[in-house]
Amino acid sequence: MIRYGISRLTPEGMEDAEFLDSLLELGHDAVELPFVNGFPWKEKRCAKFGELAAERGMAVSVHAPYFAVLTQDDPESRPKTLSALEHTMKLGKQLGAHTVVAHTGYGRERDPDELHELVDDGLRTIEPKVRHLGVALGLETAGTQRAFGSLGDIALIANNFSFVRPVIDWAHVHAISGGALTSPEAYASVIAFLRDQFPGWAIDPLHTQFTDNEFGAAGEIRHVPYGAGSLRVGPLVEAAAAAGLKMIVISEAKEDESHAAILGELRATEETARPTSRGEGRPVHSGLIDPPDVLTVEKDGEHFFTTGFDRQVKLSNIDKVFWPDDGYTKGDLIQYYASIAPVLLPHLKGRALSLSRYPDGITGNTFYEKQCPSHAPKWIVRAPIGSSSRGEVIEFCTAPDVESLVWIANMAAIEMHPWLSRVHHADAPDYALFDLDPQEGSSWDQVVYVAGLVNVLLERLGLAGYPKTTGSRGMHILVPLEPIYDYARVRRFVETVGRMIASADSDAATVEWDMRRRGPKVFIDFNQNVGGKTTAAVYSVRPRPGATVSTPLLWDEVDSIDPADFTIATIWDRLRKHGDLFAPVLKGKQTLEAAETALGLE
């Protein structure tokens, strides 16, 4: 559960492999490379070191140069500091690093709003070049009153940038709190704050630093040998075990004796600490998956009830197998949606949902349900929308919070099927959908090829599209829009682009509505852009073997991935690396007028 290592570069005259082996012999399974004064290693060496570390199961992190801070406001120095941060993250990618640790900077009598604006501006500057690297930027907690970067500050920053993570320097927290970290309860309060402010996958594992220290009224003064101060690792281990928190602990002590003492106490405490799940009761999942933020339930009669939520949710048949070939249960489905909620809920916010229910799992009967069931809890938010086909109002379910998501999953709704528009502008979608559906005899390579054509044409039209796997054999490309166009206009745009692509390469793509005439091609289904139609949401589970998940992609990786690799068991590592790659779909509203003019549309 806890990896331990030190902050050190390979000593002069020693080979990298020998250095890593020496760490393993000491019982270390992590190492942080302190590039704090510059860049002693080039990309080639970083890549080789990363390979050697991976072969040995060693977790690698990097500490960025001390001058690479985000609060630097000198016009001449600021570009250099941001460039240094960007370069460190690129080296981190070569190293296969989980995290690049950076200091946020100093206050220098500037007000908090000014400092946050500086940090946001700096991150926006480097974001296009680093957010797709698969390396987290870990902002280290401040250790003195003059430094900027409390845990609350970092939480606010991370809320705007999905590649940002917290790095907890326990010595800094101890100093700032006036020496409060002396008990498991004190550490547990910090862990509880982290759990409240960050999604589980963002702190799984939590990257931390540890050493004993001396402090005063203004914060940390200096590191001291382990045992000379009042900070101990044992209570931290107890709190982490009780919370079920995975952690990387990097010793920043200066003495080998301190490294050994911290490690000895850490491992000895691990042997006696009793790991528990969050809350009381048993985990809802089967144990076949290893999710962040384990949901626990208590049994009462034939039903189970969630613990730790603001509202208690009644669950049933949680051990019923829904994926026979994999052994995944209904409880695994519920756990997945509980854990994925922080990234999924913004995409479902304000959208009506059609429930795609599989009461006996993926091999049993299935049915769609538009009307929110009459037995739904009163707190489930309904979305009343008029239906022209029925001539009446349908009250759809929505999922504004994790409890609603868990309740819907308990209804055996494997897939989340939202509208393309939100309830308050139900006639105007906020994205256009290109649904690339491979027909019998076609391949994933063909889907990738057609997706590339769509992307090229969108770029020439001045529009950005974002790809995701459907969780099945196809691909969705979403073009975020200002919600000011009706469905007919959006559908016409997608149809026009689809017909152009089908005309350009009729052997690869088709818009033929008659299935018998499509052939082994990729069908560009523009008719999904119709009011009332729904499609599998991003991060939705699909009723397919493996419990696959509809997963956001990077354009430069679409030809190298296998959609079947993204499942309820494997999605977490991708989130740890990339965060929500579909966050721009929520933010990046675009307009169609210029594209329509270029396409010759009125």
CATH level 2 (architecture), domain 431-599:
Alpha-Beta Complex (3.90)
Q: Is the pLDDT of residue 277 over 80?
A: no
pLDDT band at residue 387 under the 50/70/90 scheme = confident
Q: What's the one-letter identity of residue 112?
A: P
Strands (DSSP E) along 486-584, which ranges? 509-510, 522-525
Torsion of CA 184, 187, 191, 193, to 10 degrees: 120
The least confident of 25-39, 410-424, 501-515, 547-561 is 501-515
The least confident of 116-125, 384-393, 416-425, 569-578 is 384-393
Closest-CA residue to 550 (of 470, 480, 454, 491)? 470
In sequence order, the β-bridge partners of residue 315 are 304
**pLDDT given at position 567:** 97
**pLDDT given at position 279:** 47
Q: What would the mean pLDDT of 329-348 be, rounded to a whole number?
A: 96
pTM listed for this prediction: 0.86
Q: SS in 3 state form for 293-334? A: CCCEEEEECCEEEECCCCCCCEECCCCCEEECCCCEEHHHHH
Q: What would the mean pLDDT of 127-145 be, rounded to a whole number?
A: 94
**pLDDT given at position 280:** 60
* Same fold across 2-272 and 282-418: no
The pLDDT > 70 percentage for the chain reads: 98
Q: What would the mean pLDDT of 331-347 be, rounded to a whole number?
A: 96
**pLDDT given at position 537:** 96
Q: Is the pLDDT of residue 600 over 50?
A: yes
Q: Is the pLDDT of residue 116 over 50?
A: yes
Q: Which 3 state secondary structure label does DSSP give 553? A: coil
Backbone phi, psi, residue 359, to 5°: -60, -25
Q: How far apart are CA 100 and CA 33, in angstroms?
A: 9
**pLDDT given at position 308:** 86
Q: Which two tokens stand for residue 282?
A: 């048993």
Q: Which two tokens stand for residue 316?
A: 């049933």
Q: How do residues 429-467 score in pLDDT, each as one tens digit?
A: 999 999 999 999 889 999 999 999 999 999 999 999 999
What ranges do the domains of the chain cover?
A: 2-272, 282-418, 431-599
One CATH from 3.30.2130.30, 3.20.20.150, 3.40.50.300, 3.50.50.60 for 2-272 = 3.20.20.150
Q: Is the pLDDT of residue 278 over 50?
A: no
Which CATH number is 282-418 given?
3.90.920.10
Q: What's the one-letter identity of residue 228?
A: A
Residue 38, number of CB atoms within 10 A of its CB = 9
Q: How far apart are CA 284 and CA 264, in angstroms?
A: 34
Q: Any idea what the Cα angle at residue 235 is, between residues 242 and 203, rounded to 5°?
A: 55
Q: What would the mean pLDDT of 360-366 be, rounded to a whole number?
A: 95
Dihedral sign from CA coordinates of 419, 420, 423, 428: negative
Q: How far apart are CA 446 and CA 363, in angstroms?
A: 29
Q: What would the mean pLDDT of 12-19 be, rounded to a whole number?
A: 97
Q: What would the mean pLDDT of 79-86 be, rounded to a whole number?
A: 96
Burial category of 511 from C-beta neighbours within 10 Å (exposed 0-12, middle 13-18, buried 19 and up): buried
**pLDDT given at position 513:** 87
Pairing state of beta strands 413-418 and 353-357? antiparallel
**pLDDT given at position 104:** 92
| DSSP state string for 160-201 | T-TTEEEEEEHHHHHHHTTS---SHHHHHHHHHHHHHHS-GG
pLDDT band at residue 20 under the 50/70/90 scheme = very high
What's the DSSP call for residue 142? P
**pLDDT given at position 162:** 87
pLDDT band at residue 275 under the 50/70/90 scheme = low
pLDDT band at residue 234 under the 50/70/90 scheme = very high
Q: Which two tokens stand for residue 16?
A: 């990298």
pLDDT band at residue 87 under the 50/70/90 scheme = very high
Count, residues in the chain? 602
Q: Is the pLDDT of residue 518 over 60?
A: yes
Q: How far apart are CA 269 and CA 400, in angstroms?
A: 41
Q: Which two tokens stand for residue 78?
A: 């600021």
Q: How far apart are CA 307 and CA 422, in angstroms?
A: 31
Q: What would the mean pLDDT of 548-577 be, rounded to a whole number?
A: 94
Mean pLDDT of the chain: 94
Q: How far apart are CA 563 and CA 547, in angstroms?
A: 11
pLDDT band at residue 389 under the 50/70/90 scheme = low
pLDDT band at residue 509 under the 50/70/90 scheme = very high
Contact 71, 82 (CB under 8 A): no
The least confident of 61-70, 237-246, 513-522, 569-578 is 513-522
